[in-house]
């Protein structure tokens, strides 16, 4: 008898401490259950609330009577019948047994993060293994799990079907995480469970669940109370251990979400005031006056913009007015995203970006801000108002130079990177050029591949290195990191945009482990609606091997012709690269190479990659040399073009380009002075 009593006592205290058996933790559903399992936690949660907040009178009375369960019941009744966070409260769909493939996979603990699918194992006590890093042992996978992405994916499926089993899975998922997260460590962390980005993502998801299901019995009272008990811990972390830069925008928007969605907490106003001051200062620090986020990576620009815009929306819903600088800079960030948009609706694939489709985002922003010029760009001129400037644009702080023939779906489009390295997620790719035309990507950036796991081990160096970009290598050496930030905008000497042509240039002289001195100056000259001329000026103190890289989109059929010409033979949308006059090129077309080094691979999405053709032009030089490239786009077969150098010196080069069907262009391309850039055209 004594032995049985002893075992019961041990089990009881294990239950109280959170070490609950698989059967018991899933059966904690009622207020009484959670108050029995976590009595001190529930009491502490009530202490974090402002019990003098209007509507909490019954909660306060029960708390003062030391009736914690009744106080918790009164608290949930307050939320059920209150007006807090009206924008998060959802009308419930009709109950049904409808299913979806995605939802049925999720409720079997099968998740897909970053294109990688796996089933998360459960521990002996029935809890998910929250540290599970997926089949490729990538911590990014575990972070996605702890961000509650499965809940984010499952919520729309529930509202689509009205199937209660999807809602109940969400209940167990959140309950599982909170129980397994205890105790809150209260220190800066990089673990799967406790890191700033995951904290911010979770609380945003919890807000949708808490209020979206507030008038249902799908989310149990126990889970609701566990959420409320965990929110102050999440906010303590976000307030005290948040990062800087782009991460800060995500983390602080989480802090603001809690402050406005749950204003009953004692520190809600403090959290909100801190959020406004911190986000405004962060906007000053990480967004250039031209609207570009300083990482200069379009994927993370969009992440930052989403979070700054979310913060604006959060404050707007709470009737809080933000400084004019804040709202003005958000508009500038949208302006950047609109004017770099490619004709096919995708954003730049540069640095650690994916090939993000941004057309619908820009159209929606155009409606919100009344910017019909953005609408015109995003719809290829089908609606909106044609911009007064353009069609080409330069962002002077970012150093992102966008050339276009027009705004149509078949327009020529190019990106020339003449800016700083970037404050994060950088690639060593200054002076890189990307080109698309006639609805097709032609010259591309290699992409980001992955940060961790087997894909990263194999491809990460290629992704970040110069060898994955359309630049030059000196003696096989790629670029070293450049200046992280711009101290001032580019002056007019670096660019010129006229109705007939675009001109831009910059240089780079820091190459990894290069013996002696070497400098690369690249100039881009775009004759609107016709062709690009690229001039590469190499200055060196000794003989060098020079390799010029041109990476083609995987869908391109690439072939080598005569006289060093490399071109595509696509059904529609083509480009011909013509080296002008210089004859000493050795040309290699490399596709899907792994040894002796990685070359000829392309990644448009994280963890997704495929082989593509890279044209490598190699030569040896004894001293300074200038290389000229004529890049001719065409819908079908390229027109016959003849180019010759009229003169060159250490300041400029003069060319003549002839298209027998159109006419003759005489072009003056200075290496470093936009004022002297000239174009004269005569019809044949």
- Residue among 272, 338, 277 at smallest CA distance from 305: 338
Q: What percent of the chain has pLDDT over 90?
A: 87
Omega before 183 within 30 of 0, i.e. cis? yes
CA dihedral sign of residues 113, 114, 117, 123: negative
> pLDDT at position 11, please?
35
Q: Is residue 642 part of a domain?
A: yes
pLDDT at residue 9 greater than cutoff 70: no
Q: Is residue 136 part of a domain?
A: no
Q: Is residue 234 part of a domain?
A: no
CA distance 151 to 166: 9
pLDDT at residue 196 greater than cutoff 50: yes
Q: Are residues 550 and 679 in the same domain?
A: yes
> pLDDT at position 655, please?
97
From 387, 404, 435, the end of a domain falls on 387
Q: Is residue 559 part of a domain?
A: yes
> pLDDT at position 2, please?
37
The CATH number given to whatever domain includes residue 668 is 2.70.98.70
Lowest mean pLDDT segment, chosen from 133-147, 232-246, 415-429, 551-565: 232-246
Q: Please give the structure tokens belonging to residue 87.
A: 């924008």
Q: Is residue 508 part of a domain?
A: yes
From 367, 387, 407, the end of a domain falls on 387
Strand order in the sheet with 531-540: 495-497, 501-508, 518-527, 531-540, 625-634, 574-579, 566-568, 558-560
Q: Are residues 502 and 570 in the same domain?
A: yes
Q: Are residues 363 and 427 in the same domain?
A: no
* Buried-state track 440-467, b at ≥16 Cβ within 10 A, e below 16: bbbbbbbbbbbbebebbeebbebbbbbb
CA dihedral sign of residues 172, 177, 178, 180: positive
CA distance 15 to 191: 26
For the chain, give the mean pLDDT. Answer: 93
Q: Are residues 429 and 349 in the same domain?
A: no
Asked whether 484 and 420 are in contact (CB, 8 A), the reply is yes
pLDDT at residue 320 greater than cutoff 90: no
Q: Are residues 310 and 441 in the same domain?
A: no
pLDDT tens track for 20-60: 544 489 999 999 999 999 999 999 999 999 999 999 999 99
> pLDDT at position 410, please?
97
Neighbouring CB atoms inside 10 A of 274's CB total 19
Count of domains forming the chain: 2
Q: Is residue 658 part of a domain?
A: yes
Kindly indicate the confidence band of residue 1, based on its pLDDT and cuts at 50, 70 and 90.
very low
Asked whether 332 and 326 are in contact (CB, 8 A), the reply is no
The CATH number given to whatever domain includes residue 318 is 1.50.10.100
pTM of the model: 0.82
Let me know the angle formed at the C-alpha of 106 by 105 and 110, rounded to the nearest 5 degrees: 70
From 352, 387, 422, the end of a domain falls on 387
Q: Which helix (H) or strand (E) holds 656?
A: strand 652-659
Mean pLDDT of the region 570-585 = 95
Q: Are residues 331 and 472 in the same domain?
A: no
Q: Are residues 600 and 483 in the same domain?
A: yes
pLDDT at residue 170 greater than cutoff 90: yes
CA distance 88 to 204: 10
> pLDDT at position 670, please?
97
Kindly indicate the confidence band of residue 681, based on its pLDDT and cuts at 50, 70 and 90.
very high
> pLDDT at position 18, please?
42
Mean pLDDT of the region 111-116 = 91
- Residue among 199, 219, 109 at smallest CA distance from 147: 199
Asked whether 624 and 538 are in contact (CB, 8 A), the reply is yes
CA distance 351 to 609: 15
- Residue among 534, 541, 503 at smallest CA distance from 624: 541
Q: Are residues 375 and 419 in the same domain?
A: no
Name the residue range of residue 421's domain.
Answer: 389-683
Lowest mean pLDDT segment, chosen from 21-30, 470-479, 537-546: 21-30
SS (H, E, C) 31-44: HHHHHHHCHHHHHH
Q: Is residue 182 part of a domain?
A: no
Q: Are residues 580 and 651 in the same domain?
A: yes
The size of the chain, in residues, is 684
> pLDDT at position 595, please?
94
Q: Are residues 571 and 671 in the same domain?
A: yes
Mean pLDDT of the region 58-81 = 97
Q: Is residue 626 part of a domain?
A: yes
> pLDDT at position 314, please?
87
CA distance 229 to 347: 41
- Give the residue carrying structure tokens 């009229």: 646
Q: Are residues 449 and 544 in the same domain?
A: yes
Mean pLDDT of the region 127-133 = 97
pLDDT tens track for 404-445: 999 999 999 999 999 999 999 999 999 999 999 999 999 999
Mean pLDDT of the region 657-671 = 94
pLDDT tens track for 247-304: 888 888 899 999 999 999 999 999 999 999 999 998 999 999 999 999 999 999 998 9
Q: Are residues 471 and 502 in the same domain?
A: yes
User: Could you tell me the CA-to-CA distances from 631 to 14, 420, 503, 642 in Å, in that order?
Assistant: 72, 25, 15, 12
User: Could you tell me the CA-to-CA distances from 509 to 148, 351, 415, 481 in Å, in that order?
Assistant: 45, 20, 21, 11
């Amino acid at each position: 008898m004594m032995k049985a009593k002893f075992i019961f006592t041990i089990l009881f205290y294990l239950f109280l401490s959170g070490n609950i058996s698989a059967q018991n933790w899933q059966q904690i559903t009622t207020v009484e259950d959670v108050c029995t399992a976590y009595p001190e936690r529930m009491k502490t949660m009530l202490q974090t609330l402002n019990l003098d907040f209007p509507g909490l009178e019954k909660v306060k009375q029960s708390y003062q009577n030391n009736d914690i369960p009744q106080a918790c019941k009164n608290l949930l009744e307050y939320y059920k019948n209150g007006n807090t966070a009206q924008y998060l409260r959802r009308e419930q769909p009709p109950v049904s047994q409808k299913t979806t493939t995605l939802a049925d996979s999720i409720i079997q603990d099968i998740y897909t993060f970053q294109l990688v699918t796996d089933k998360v194992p459960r521990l002996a006590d029935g809890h998910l293994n929250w540290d599970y890093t997926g089949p490729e042992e990538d911590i990014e996978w575990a972070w996605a799990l702890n961000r509650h992405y499965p809940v984010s994916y499952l919520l729309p499926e529930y509202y689509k079907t009205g199937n209660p089993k999807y809602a109940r899975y969400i209940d167990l998922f959140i309950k599982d995480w909170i129980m397994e997260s205890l105790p809150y460590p209260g220190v800066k962390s990089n673990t799967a469970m406790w890191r700033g980005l995951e904290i911010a993502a979770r609380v945003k998801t919890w807000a949708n669940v808490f209020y979206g299901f507030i008038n249902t019995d799908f989310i149990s009272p126990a889970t609701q109370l566990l959420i409320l008990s965990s929110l102050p811990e999440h906010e303590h972390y976000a307030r005290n251990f948040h990062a800087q830069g782009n991460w800060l925008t995500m983390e602080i928007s989480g802090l603001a979400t809690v402050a406005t969605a749950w204003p009953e907490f004692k520190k809600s106003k403090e959290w909100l005031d801190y959020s406004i001051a911190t986000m405004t200062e962060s906007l000053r620090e990480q967004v250039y006056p031209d609207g570009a986020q300083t990482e200069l990576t379009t994927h993370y620009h969009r992440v930052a913009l989403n979070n700054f815009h979310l913060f604006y929306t959060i404050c707007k819903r709470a009737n809080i007015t933000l400084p004019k600088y804040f709202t003005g800079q958000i508009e500038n960030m949208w302006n950047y995203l609109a004017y770099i948009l490619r004709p096919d609706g995708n954003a730049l694939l540069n640095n650690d970006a994916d090939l993000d489709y941004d057309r619908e985002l820009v159209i929606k922003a155009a409606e919100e801000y009344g910017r019909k010029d953005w609408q015109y760009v995003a719809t290829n001129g089908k609606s909106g108002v044609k911009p007064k400037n353009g069609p080409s644009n330069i962002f002077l702080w970012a150093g992102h130079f966008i050339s276009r023939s027009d705004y149509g779906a078949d327009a020529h489009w190019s990106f020339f990177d003449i800016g700083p390295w970037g404050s994060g997620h950088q690639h060593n790719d200054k002076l890189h050029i990307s080109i698309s035309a006639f609805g097709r990507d032609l010259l591309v950036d290699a992409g980001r591949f992955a940060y961790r796991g087997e894909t990263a081990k194999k491809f990460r160096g290629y992704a970040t290195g110069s060898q994955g970009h359309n630049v030059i290598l000196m003696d096989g050496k790629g670029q070293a990191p450049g200046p992280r930030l711009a101290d001032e905008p580019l002056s007019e000497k670096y660019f010129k945009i006229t109705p007939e042509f675009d001109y831009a240039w910059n240089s780079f002289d820091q190459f990894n482990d290069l013996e002696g001195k070497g400098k690369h100056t690249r100039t881009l000259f775009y004759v609107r609606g016709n062709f690009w001329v690229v001039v590469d000026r190499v200055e060196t103190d000794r003989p060098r091997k020079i390799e010029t890289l041109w990476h083609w989109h995987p869908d391109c059929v690439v072939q080598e012709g005569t006289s060093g010409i490399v071109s595509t033979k696509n059904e529609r949308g083509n480009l011909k690269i013509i080296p002008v006059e210089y004859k000493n090129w050795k040309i290699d077309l490399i596709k899907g190479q792994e040894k002796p080094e990685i070359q000829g691979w392309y990644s448009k999405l994280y963890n997704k990659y495929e082989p593509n053709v890279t044209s490598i032009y190699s030569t040896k030089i004894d001293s300074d040399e200038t290389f000229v490239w004529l890049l001719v786009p065409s819908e079908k077969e390229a027109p016959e073009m003849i180019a010759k150098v009229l003169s060159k010196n250490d300041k400029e080069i003069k060319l003549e380009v002839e298209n027998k069907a159109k006419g003759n262009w005489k072009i003056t391309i200075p290496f470093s002075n936009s004022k002297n850039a000239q174009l004269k055209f005569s019809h044949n």
